Amino acid sequence: MLFNKLLASVTTAVLFSSLSAAAPWPSSVKHTTHRERDLASNLRLVTFHPESTFETFGVGIDHPLNKRASEDLEGAALSFVQSHLNLSDKDVNFKSGFSGEAAAHAYVRQQIDGVPVANAVANVAFNQAGKVVAFGSSFVKPTSVPSSKPTLTLEEAIAKAESALGGKFNEWPATLEFIAKEDGSVALTHVVQIQNDETGAWVEAFIDAHSGELVHITDFVTKASFFVLPITKETPPEGLELLTNPEDLSASPDGWNNDGTTSTTDTSGNNVISFKGSQTATTQESGAGPVFNFPPDFTTAPTTTQNVNTAHVNTFYIVNTIHDISYKYGFTEAAFNFQNNNFGLGGKGNDRVTVSVQDSAGTNNADFATPADGQSGRMRMFLWTFTNPQRDGALENDIVSHENTHGITNRLTGGGTGRCLQTTEAGGMGEGWSDAFAEWTEHKDATVPDYILGQFVENNSVGIRSHPYSTSTTVNPLNYASLQTLSEVHDIGEVWANLLHNVYAGLVAAHGFSATAHTDPTTTGGNTVFLHLFIDALSLQPCNPTFLTARDAWIQADVNRFGGANKCTLWQAFASRGLGVNAANHNNDATVPAGC
Ligand SMILES: *[C@@H]1O[C@H](CO)[C@@H](O)[C@H](O)[C@H]1NC(C)=O
Ligand SMILES: *[C@@H]1O[C@H](CO)[C@@H](O)[C@H](O)[C@H]1NC(C)=O
Ligand SMILES: [Ca+2]
Ligand SMILES: [Zn+2]
């Protein structure tokens, strides 16, 4: 409860005053380009992210190098961006790219004097025919540009960042980058990572390399805020089972108990390490094989050795399983996933997920920090204090899945930088994808029941969100226009997750349900189609997407992979919750394209 009280005293007061001063929707417009955060030392910082344009091209358009070999992704992307935005080659810099099953993706940055502009990025997607199918851009035309030679040393910038943010430089290599500001200028900045072990804060700080001012941050941590709802009835825990060989060797070739070079006998491997307190405090196998057989005792405190072992094993199992599922649907090494050893398949390694269970930093919550590809994702699970004995979020799979999905969405959007779900609206969708993925993993057949998250940790039947996700507008009335009055990321996330619940229901109604979708992405059920589009669209959408551009990315993803077979099903579902063809500025529209 402490968390809610803190939130109320620190954040809510300000949000109420700003909301009451303005008409409902103009105040929500900034969701697409801004984010206001309370940082350490009573510092409030508003970050600016230039609006992303997003165009999709259906079956595709040509690019200047069409005649050349199509495997030159970098050359094709750079030449397309230059011609499309009328820029020269000195303005554009290739950041990352990969070829997926349905599309190839390139992520480029604007640069000035050879220095990249951190928040001026673009992404280009090519279909299998080598034609451009999607283009997103937040490139800027700066009104003034300072010298690209810093006057402030890196050491001075680090000292400024540490004192402004109340944390310590974590020694991750600093970079020099421009940052586009709201006033139209750009600032030259030293970019340094600052962490605070007590609060769990982990940000990239952009310190003006001429003035020393903190001008921007990237917040790597996405938190789950779980609001207390009235307890109406009990949901008994589902039974745990001893599963044999749950790993998918086509996604984790050395199995889960191998750290990429040698085999392991504890809850550590190539994709994840689960521990409590320190990374040496993992759980050792209970028998060779390996066997990790540690049944929980829900009548005793979660902190008993027995229950800590269950927590390690369950999170190790869930994060590995999500690694394997998402891998088969396209979240691979080259697409910036979390693995120590990438087996020569592209991307950066040494970044398995670290899971700290029963982390002492908090209660009644959990979080996930997503730095760029090549640095480990950090999941922290907390204890929940609503019951006696307390309960452990590590044993409620929807909470673990929700957190893990933050890593997937933050890596797949914008090419592995961890910088592209930072605005209020994009951060809100981040929460929504996390709920929607958790829901996806739990479907068992073609029925699409209302979905509730977090009922075990709170020991109530209504869970931690304001409404169940539902195809019924009576059960869940949230729609696109709800964004006019919502400004907290989890609240916005509920709108997106409810939209995706309805997209899911539409696809399953059209295609049925594939029972083996977790391990076989070639199946044809609506649940399989849904997860393909979910993953594919993340790579297509622009940096800091909006509901509108994210919707367009789903439509384009369907063209790329299924030839547009689901166009009307998708539009009908989106339009049913206000995200029709003419939706704009957080105003509903129920129009579907002609012919649907
Ligand atoms: C493209 O850029 C050049 C040089 O900056 C300029 O002269 C030209 O007018 C631009 N063309 C268009 C179509 O904007
Ligand atoms: C869960 O809630 C029910 C009442 O709804 C209560 O009887 C039970 O003791 C609670 N369980 C725990 C562990 O607190
Ligand atoms: Ca990686
Ligand atoms: Zn979350």
- Tokens representing 80 are 């397309």
pTM of the model: 0.86
Task: Please state the domain count of the chain.
Answer: 4
> Where among 358, 373, 408 does a domain terminate?
408
- So what's the pLDDT on residue 288? 73
Beta bridge partners of 111: 116
pLDDT in tens, 286-325: 877 778 888 889 999 999 999 999 999 999 999 999 999 9
Same domain, 64 and 181: no
CA of 277 to the centre of ligand 4 (A): 22
- Residue 150 maps to a domain: yes
- Residue 209 maps to a domain: yes
> Where among 137, 162, 191 does a domain terminate?
137
- Residue 188 maps to a domain: yes
Same domain, 165 and 71: no
* C-alpha Rg value of the chain to the nearest Å: 23
- So what's the pLDDT on residue 66? 67
- Residue 583 maps to a domain: no
Same domain, 485 and 391: no
Which active-site residues does the annotation give? 403
Residue 501's CATH number:
1.10.390.10
- So what's the pLDDT on residue 233? 20
Same domain, 334 and 379: yes
Q: Measured between alpha carbons, how far is 158 from 507 in angstroms, rounded to an integer?
A: 50
Same domain, 39 and 88: no
Same domain, 254 and 293: yes
- Residue 595 maps to a domain: no
Residue 285's CATH number:
3.10.170.10
CA of 435 to the centre of ligand 4 (A): 8
* Residue 459 Cβ < 6 Å to ligand 2: yes
CA of 565 to the centre of ligand 4 (A): 32
Query: CA dist 486 to 191, 331, 379, 425, 482, Å?
Result: 32, 31, 27, 10, 6
Residue 84's CATH number:
3.10.450
Which of the ligands is closest to the CA of residue 224?
4
Same domain, 254 and 392: yes
- Residue 13 maps to a domain: no
- So what's the pLDDT on residue 22? 27
* Residue 235 Cβ < 6 Å to ligand 2: no
The burial of 280, by beta-carbon neighbours within 10 Å (0-12 exposed, 13-18 middle, 19 or more buried), is given as: exposed
| 459 Cα nearest atom in ligand 2 | 1
Cα 515-519-525 angle, rounded to 5 deg: 40
Beta bridge partners of 366: 224, 381
- So what's the pLDDT on residue 35? 87
- So what's the pLDDT on residue 354? 98
Residue 200's CATH number:
3.10.450.40
- Residue 440 maps to a domain: yes
Q: Which residues of 35-55 are buried (b: 16+ CB within 10 A; e: fewer)?
A: bebebbeeeebebbbbbbebb
User: Which of 387, 456, 461 for mutating ligand 2's site (highest number of atoms within 8 Å of CB)?
Assistant: 387
Which residue type, as a one-letter code, is found at position 139?
F
- So what's the pLDDT on residue 341? 97
Same domain, 251 and 394: yes
| 386 Cα nearest atom in ligand 2 | 14
Same domain, 449 and 549: yes
> Where among 113, 137, 161 does a domain terminate?
137
* Residue 232 Cβ < 6 Å to ligand 2: no
pLDDT in tens, 177-215: 999 999 999 999 999 999 988 777 889 999 999 999 999
* Residue 388 Cβ < 6 Å to ligand 2: yes
Could you count the other beta carbons within 10 Å of the beta carbon of residue 594? 6
Same domain, 313 and 331: yes
CA of 85 to the centre of ligand 1 (A): 9
Which of the ligands is closest to the CA of residue 458?
2
* Residue 234 Cβ < 6 Å to ligand 2: yes
| 232 Cα nearest atom in ligand 2 | 5
Same domain, 402 and 457: no
| 298 Cα nearest atom in ligand 2 | 13
Domain that holds residue 481: 424-576
- So what's the pLDDT on residue 411? 98
- So what's the pLDDT on residue 255? 86
- Residue 172 maps to a domain: yes
Q: Measured between alpha carbons, how far is 453 from 396 in angstroms, rounded to an integer?
A: 9
Which parts of 33-185 are beta strand (E)?
34-39, 43-48, 53-61, 92-99, 104-112, 115-126, 132-137, 168-169, 175-180
- So what's the pLDDT on residue 5? 24
Same domain, 151 and 35: yes
Q: Measured between alpha carbons, how far is 25 from 348 in angstroms, rounded to an integer?
A: 42
Per-residue pLDDT of the chain (596 residues; tens, 9 = 90+): 112 222 222 222 211 122 222 222 345 767 888 888 776 556 778 889 999 999 999 999 988 776 555 558 999 999 999 999 999 999 999 999 999 999 999 999 999 999 999 999 999 999 999 999 999 999 999 999 999 999 999 999 999 999 988 899 999 999 999 999 999 999 999 999 999 887 778 899 999 999 999 999 898 886 533 221 211 222 225 678 777 778 888 888 888 988 888 888 899 999 999 999 999 999 998 877 778 888 889 999 999 999 999 999 999 999 999 999 999 999 999 999 999 999 999 999 999 999 999 999 899 999 999 999 999 999 999 999 999 999 999 999 999 999 999 999 999 999 999 999 999 999 999 999 999 999 999 999 999 999 999 999 999 888 999 999 999 999 999 999 999 999 999 999 999 999 999 999 999 999 999 999 999 999 999 999 999 999 999 999 999 999 999 999 999 999 999 999 999 999 999 999 999 999 999 999 999 999 99
